[in-house]
Amino acid sequence: MGILALVYVLAIAIFCSSNVNSQGVTLVPAIITFGDSVVDVGNNDYIPTIFKSNYPPYGRDFKNKEATGRFCNGKLATDITAETLGFTSFAPAYLSPQASGKNLLLGANFASAACNSTVTTVTIFQGVPREASKGARRIGVTSLPPLGCLPAARTIFGFHESGCVSRINTDAQQFNKKINSAATQLGKQLPGLKVVVFDVFKPLYDLVADPKKNGFTEATKGCCGTGKVETTSLLCNPKSYGTCSNATQYVFWDSVHPSQAANQILADSLIIQGIALIS
C-alpha cells in the first residue's frame, strides 16, 4: 500500500462560516483544500518534481483544453463541488501567480501530488485545532478510495474480487475507520466545529464493480496510458499511444486518477453527504 499512498491522500476542505464572497451569494464563501494529486490544481507546476501534469493530454476536456496541472482530463471532483456550491471560478493553486488579491477570497488550494508518503491519521488531524482557533468551523475530510481498484494496483499486485486487490481495499477500509473515529473525537473536543467525513470508497467502488450501470464501459484501465500496462501516471504523456478518444466511457483517466465523468459522480455524492456541513 506504500506505493499507492504516494498517489492518494485524503482531501481536507475547510469551509468558512459566512456565505457572501466576491462572487456574490454562495453556499460557502471560500474553500481551502489540502491533499494530494486527486485535488492538486497545479501546485506541482511550481516545485521541482517529476510528478506534474501540466502537459497534454491532461486537461484536454478542461476549459480551453488547458493542462493546468490537474491530474485529469477535465475537472476534479472538488472543482465540480465548488461549482455546485455557487462558485463561478476556482480557488487558485497557492504557489501560482494567481494566488493573490481578490482571488484568495475564493480560498486556496494547497494540494500537491505525491506529498503524502508519511501521512498518518494523526498528522492529518493534528492541525485541525489550530485551524479551528483561526476561525475554521466546517471541515470536510474524504475517506481513502478503494485503492485496490486502481488500474496501477491491479497491474502491480494482481487482482481477484470484483477486479480489485481485496487486501489493499481492506487496508483502506481499516484506515477509514480510524479517520471516522478521529473526526468524532474532534467534534467532541471542539464545540462549534463541524467535521464531516465524506465516503469516496463506496461510490468509486460501485463504479468499478458495475461500470455499465453508470454509463461507463471501462473500469480496469485508464483512458490515458499505454492501453496495456498500468503502473504510474507518468505513462500518461504527449507520446502515450494508447490514449482513448472518449474519456467519458472510462472510470479512470490514467492509472490512478478518476476521469472527469467519474469525478462528476463522486462530486454528486460529496454534495449529498455534505448537506449537514453547509447547512
Residue 140 is classified by DSSP as E
206 carries an active-site annotation? no
Instruction: Return d(Cα 188, Cα 186) in angstroms, integer.
Output: 5
Give residue 23's pLDDT.
Answer: 52
* Residue whose C-alpha cell is 507520446: 239
160 carries an active-site annotation? no
Residue 171 is part of which domain span?
2-278
pLDDT tens per residue across span 42-72 = 999 999 999 999 999 999 999 999 999 999 9
Give residue 136's pLDDT.
Answer: 76
Q: Which residues contact 127 (CB under 8 A, 6 or more apart)?
A: none
Answer for the pair 75, 262: CB distance below 8 angstroms, yes or no: no
Please pick, among 254, 255, 259, 269, the residue that the annotation labels catalytic: 254
257 carries an active-site annotation? yes
Give residue 2's pLDDT.
Answer: 37
pLDDT tens per residue across span 241-261 = 879 999 999 999 999 999 999
Give the count of domains, the chain: 1
Instruction: Return d(Cα 165, Cα 153) in angstroms, integer.
Output: 7
Answering whether pTM is above 0.85, one says: yes
Task: Inform me whether the pLDDT recorded for 137 exceeds 90.
Answer: no
Please pick, among 36, 37, 53, 233, the residue that the annotation labels catalytic: 37
For residue 210, give the CATH number of its domain: 3.40.50
Give residue 123's pLDDT.
Answer: 61
Instruction: Return d(Cα 267, Cα 273) in angstroms, integer.
Output: 10
The whole-number average pLDDT for the span 91-107 is 94
Residue 195: left (phi > 0), alpha (psi -120 to 50), or beta?
A: beta
Q: What percent of the chain has pLDDT over 90?
A: 56
Instruction: Return d(Cα 128, Cα 25) in angstroms, integer.
Output: 27
Please pick, among 40, 112, 233, 257, the residue that the annotation labels catalytic: 257
* Mean per-residue pLDDT over the chain, rounded: 85
